[in-house]
Structure 1
Amino acid sequence: MSDKITHECGIAMVRLLKPLSYYQEKYGTPLWGFTKLFLLMEKQHNRGQDGAGVACVKSDIAAGDPFMFRERCVKTNPLDKIFKTLLGQYNEKVAEGIIHPEFADTVKKHFDFGGELLMGHLRYGTSGGYNISSCHPFFRRSPWPTRNLALCGNFNMTNTEELNRSLIAMGQHPIFATDTQAMLEKIGFFLDEEHDELFRKFRSEGLTPEETSRKISDELDLTRVITRSATKWDGGYTLCGLIGNGDAFVARDPSGIRPCWYFQNDEVIAFASERAPLMTVFDLTLEEPKEVPPGNVIVMKRNGAISTAPFTPPLPRTSCSFERIYFSRGNDIEIYKERKLLGSRLTEQVLKAVNHDWENTVFSFVPNTAEVAFYGLMHGLREKRRIEVKTALREAAKAGTLTDELIDDLILHNWPRGEKVVSKDIKIRTFIGQEGMRNQLASHVYDITYGSVKPKDHLVCVDDSIVRGTTLRRSILRILSRLNPKKIVIVSTAPQIRFPDCYGIDMSELGKFVAFEATVALLKESGQGHILQEVYELCRQAVAKGECVNHVRKIYEPFTPEQISAKITELVRPKNIEWKGEFEVIFQTIENLHAAVPNHTGDWYFTGKYPTPGGFRVVNQAYLNYFEKGDGRSY
């Protein structure tokens, strides 16, 4: 994606089902689980580089000894720093003779992360800033193990204010911060309720305090806790929680918006945001990892019992299509195939844009996430050209005009030509305060292969999505124009992004979407500016009444996607460059998106069809913010 946006975070959890000594004997290290957690997080580093955090719970710890631990970092390369720090502590204690790795009990006693239950989080700063206090996991502490809670997740809630109001109604005094804090307190409240109900029950039965504590731990019902907590949740989420007694849970939203996969055998149960990391880390086949069912919570008890149960009524499945287009790593074979198909589906639009000029067209991509789609486009082009060549050869053979020269011309000189025209240079720090100088520095993030394109050539570059068009304006088009091609065609494998997201992606300000900017310009140019005021009045009424209707869709109704694309082309073309060639921006169609990615139908940022009431509130509020010239997120 050429436009930088912050988005989905990553989760990882490892629950060992055997004592640490088992892994020492079988794998030669008592840190087997700790290492697996690091690898699961490292294989998902694409999901968050603004911060990282890990937590651990040790089971069966003697009274007086700590049992729950956390480490977080928001510095550069946070994941590396966390694990280097923790391993440094471990190795120091080994060198001092405090820890003897061959004796797992010394590891468990003296190493903070020598436990059976481990959880990790990779963060993109979609809300709450970038400081350590906003970094997962969040902790809720208590001297009672069954009241301790560590929480992390890949989620955005659309109704954080409502959740905070419900906490106030319960008698709490919440600190208005992030949705994570609201979720922590919500779950924590019902965790306390569950604990207190069990405490009163066992005390009335005459159990001793030690027996009561043990029975509470055994009978703590996390499925009920999550069910009671989730009554007002609206958003896309995968939540992971650790309880101080050694219980744990992973819950997924009822629409399946946010992804979550797991693997279980007799040694471990492990969770991750993506399937491929589980396959790599645990050496699995494609079929072995399973999806956490939407609307379900998987509960792991301290004694190793594992259960799966629904905690909220199911909703139609609308898994995020951006996971397939861009966010998830492409080494999952299904995602790889889908991205290739997204590229292939653009073949006809691309050929029309270059007038089927095979000989004088160079195909490339804007690194690096669009590379797989580029392969798909090249495959589609070759298939198309193969049909054309086959037809021409048959006609020539029939007419008796088939010659070596004709064969060479058809196959060698007119075959789809792919080049790596654009390279992404090392990241240039743009910390300088003056905006003009920042923009100048940002324009040098990309570089080109000089001489790879001739002045007579069309240059087609694939991008996976275009959100704001800022990078096209300031960087990519300026540098591509130095090649002086006849025409530049930028091809987006995603459709036009027209509506805000509120379920994980940090793109909620309508005025920053280039598709919205282009449509507003078209309305004004065509004498239909009154629609902007009409939609404002409708959105204001909808927000006041809590209506589940997207009035912003009316903005786009007067125009075809092609008209909007043409206006986008006009808007993103830099005004002060010497290059005089043609330029065009092409977007994927909604129909081709659904054909290429059939099982991830969440497309509200393209179509405005939101899966929850909160989405409709957000889109209407986003328009109010735009019209009233307000800044900031709309949820």
Structure 2
Amino acid sequence: MSDPLKHECGIAVVRLRKPLAYYLDKYETPLWGFNKLFLLMEKQRNRGQDGVGIGCTKLDTPLGQPYIFRRRDATKDSLSEVFRREIKRYNKMARKGHLDPKDPESVKRNFDFGGEVLMGHLRYGTSGEFSEGSCHPYLRRSNWPTRTLMVMGNFNMTNAGELNRKLIERGQHPVFGTDTQTVLEEIGFHLDEHHTDIYRRLREDGVDGQSTPAHISEQLDLHSIITEAGKAWDGGYAISGVVGNGDMFVMRDPRGIRPCYMYMDDEVISFASERVPLMTVYEASEDQVKELEPGGLVIIKRNGTMLETRFSPEWPHSPCSFERIYFSRGNDPAIYKERKAMGAVMADQVCKAIDNNFDKAVFSFVPNTAETAYYGLMDGLRLRRRMEVREEILEASQKGELSEEKLDELIMRNWPRAEKMAHKDIKMRTFISQEDGRAQLVSHVYDITYGVVKEDDVLVVLDDSIVRGTTLKKSILKILARTNPRKIVILSTAPQIRYPDCYGIDMSEMGKFIAFAATINLLRRAGKQAYIDEVYADCKAELQKPLEEIENKVVRIYEPFTDEEISAEVSQMVYPEELEWSGEVEVIFQTIDNLHKCIDGPSGDWYFTGNFPTHGGRATANLAFVRWYEGATGRSYDLPS
């Protein structure tokens, strides 16, 4: 994805099933679980670089000893820094004799992360401050372990404003600006209520005070707590939490928008946002890693018993298709296959754009994340060309014209040509990540391969997706134009992004979408400002309805034009200004039908089609259009009550 775009966060959970002594005896370290947590987070580094947080809960901690811990960091290279500091602290304590690395009980007692329940979070912020305080996990402390709660997640709630108002109506004082705090407080509220009910029953039954904590811990029912809390949530989420006594849970939203996977053996139960990190870290096969069902809830009690259940009724599944297109690492076997298919299926569109003349075309990709789809594109083009050659050979054979020279001509002529055209300078990209001065430096992010493309060639370059088009216009096309082809074709393996995402991706302002801006240009050029005004009025009217009755009226904006007409306008809009090169630019987007053909099972496509899976999503789309029309900026998730 050449446009800078932040997205879903990543979670990692390690729940040890054996005492620390077991791991010391077998793996020669009592920090086996802590090391696995680091590896799971390192393998998901792609999911968040704004900050990290880690947490630990120790089981059966003696009275008076601390039992729950966390560290958070939002500085540069925070993942490595957090773990480096903890290992440094561990080694220093060992050197000074404050703990004995060969004594598991000493490690558990003295090292904050020498516990049995470990969790980690990688943050890609879509809103709020980018500081340590905004990093997960969030912690709600109490002098009762069974009321202490630590929560983290990969999620966005479309109705965070409504949830905050609900807290206020109860008499609480929520910290505004983060739906994470809202989720923590909602679960915490029901945990408190449940806890109080148990305590009163025990008191009425005459249970003495010293025995009360153990009874509460045994009777704590996380299923009912989570089920009650989750009723109010509208969004996409994978959330993990742990109570101070060691009871923990992992849950996934009912439509499966956000991903979550689980691995289990007799040593550990572990969760992550992607399949492959679990496969790699635990040396597991694909079938040993299980996808958490949408609406699924896994509860692991402090005594190790596990319950796999549901906290929500079943809804149609709408897993985020951007996970398949771009976000998840491409070494997942299913995702690798699907990304190759996304490239291969564009072969027909490409051949039309180059007049089926492979002799005068060069194929490449940008950025590196598009490489897998590029392999698929080349496979698709070569397969298409092989079929053409086969027909030509059969035809020549039937006519008695199949000489050795003719065969060489048919086989060697018009064959798809692959080249590496753009080379990304990773250090430069990091240096210019701040907006100030970005425009002057961004054109140097990539180096170009010279001497490959000729003046009469078409240069075809594959991208993951085109969101805003700014990087394409200000950087990529200017760089590619240096090769001086007669035409540049940009392919997007994703369809036109037309609607905001409100479930975790940083795509909330409609005016920044190049497909939306192109459509508005077409409407205004056609003298249809009144039509835009009408859609605005419709969206305003929808927002006055009860949430469950709201329809997405923004779809009307796109109805007057075909996909091809919008793509043609995009092609004109991304053409770099003041460019000496006089060639043609054509932007081609994946079709919705082909996208669905490439992805196994259901896939959420709301940012392309406007078919939002939740009420809050449809309301967000209307609100985003209203905000654009009125000139407001910023995210559009805070819906009216």
Match of 2:335 in 1: 335
Match of 1:463 in 2: 463
- Paired residues for 1:109-188 under 5 Å: 109-188=109-188
Gaps of 5+ in 1: none
Match of 1:389 in 2: 389
From the superposition, tell whether residues 432 and 236 of structure 1 become closer, same or farther in structure 2 (CA, over 3 Å): closer
SS of equivalent to 2:115? coil
Match of 2:507 in 1: 507
Two-structure CA RMSD over aligned residues (Å): 1.2
Larger mean Cα displacement after TM superposition, 173-182 or 604-613: 173-182
Q: Deviations over 1:577-627 (max 9, x none)?
A: 011112100000000000001324200000000010000110000000000
CA shift at 1:438, angstroms? Answer: 2.4
- Paired residues for 1:123-272 under 5 Å: 123-272=123-272
CA distance in 2, matches of 1:293, 1:324: 17
Match of 1:286 in 2: 286
Q: Structure 1 length normalisation: TM-score? A: 0.98
**Letter aligned with residue 577 of structure 1:** L
Larger mean Cα displacement after TM superposition, 31-40 or 422-431: 422-431
Match of 1:549 in 2: 551
Match of 2:49 in 1: 49
CA distance in 2, matches of 1:408, 1:480: 33
Identity %: 56
Match of 2:622 in 1: 620
**Letter aligned with residue 604 of structure 1:** W
Match of 1:634 in 2: 636
Match of 1:17 in 2: 17
CA shift at 1:430, angstroms? Answer: 2.9
Contact 1:320-1:600 within 8 A present in 2 as well: no
Match of 2:357 in 1: 357
SS of equivalent to 2:238? strand
Contact 1:237-1:503 within 8 A present in 2 as well: yes
Q: Deviations over 1:14-65 (max 9, x none)?
A: 0001100011111111111111111111111100011010000011111221
Match of 2:583 in 1: 581
CA shift at 1:211, angstroms? Answer: 1.0
From the superposition, tell whether residues 594 and 524 of structure 1 become closer, same or farther in structure 2 (CA, over 3 Å): same
Contact 2:12-2:272 within 8 A present in 1 as well: yes
Match of 1:596 among 570, 587, 598: 598
Contact 2:518-2:569 within 8 A present in 1 as well: yes
Q: Deviations over 1:291-340 (max 9, x none)?
A: 11111211110000100221122211011000000000011110000000
- Paired residues for 1:307-346 under 5 Å: 307-346=307-346
- Paired residues for 1:405-554 under 5 Å: 405-428=405-428, 429-430=431-432, 437-546=437-546, 547-554=549-556
From the superposition, tell whether residues 218 and 159 of structure 1 become closer, same or farther in structure 2 (CA, over 3 Å): same
CA distance in 2, matches of 1:587, 1:283: 38
Larger mean Cα displacement after TM superposition, 59-68 or 515-524: 59-68
**Letter aligned with residue 122 of structure 2:** L
CA distance in 1, matches of 2:490, 2:410: 26
SS of equivalent to 1:500? coil
CA distance in 2, matches of 1:462, 1:431: 23
CA shift at 1:262, angstroms? Answer: 0.3
CA shift at 1:432, angstroms? Answer: 7.6
Match of 2:65 in 1: 65
Match of 1:561 in 2: 563
SS of equivalent to 2:66? coil
Instruction: List structure 1 runs of 4+ shifted beyond 4 angstroms.
Output: 431-434
Contact 1:319-1:599 within 8 A present in 2 as well: no
**Letter aligned with residue 559 of structure 1:** F
**Letter aligned with residue 170 of structure 1:** R
CA distance in 1, matches of 2:378, 2:18: 50
CA distance in 1, matches of 2:185, 2:46: 29
Q: Deviations over 1:163-194 (max 9, x none)?
A: 01111121211121200011111111111111
Count of aligned pairs between the two proteins = 633
CA distance in 2, matches of 1:67, 1:255: 35
**Letter aligned with residue 478 of structure 2:** R
Q: Structure 2 length normalisation: TM-score? A: 0.97
CA shift at 1:99, angstroms? Answer: 2.3
Match of 1:88 in 2: 88
**Letter aligned with residue 603 of structure 2:** T
CA distance in 1, matches of 2:107, 2:433: 43
CA distance in 2, matches of 1:406, 1:3: 46
Gaps of 5+ in 2: none
SS of equivalent to 2:369? coil
Contact 2:127-2:635 within 8 A present in 1 as well: no
CA shift at 1:495, angstroms? Answer: 0.3
CA shift at 1:105, angstroms? Answer: 0.7
Contact 2:543-2:550 within 8 A present in 1 as well: no
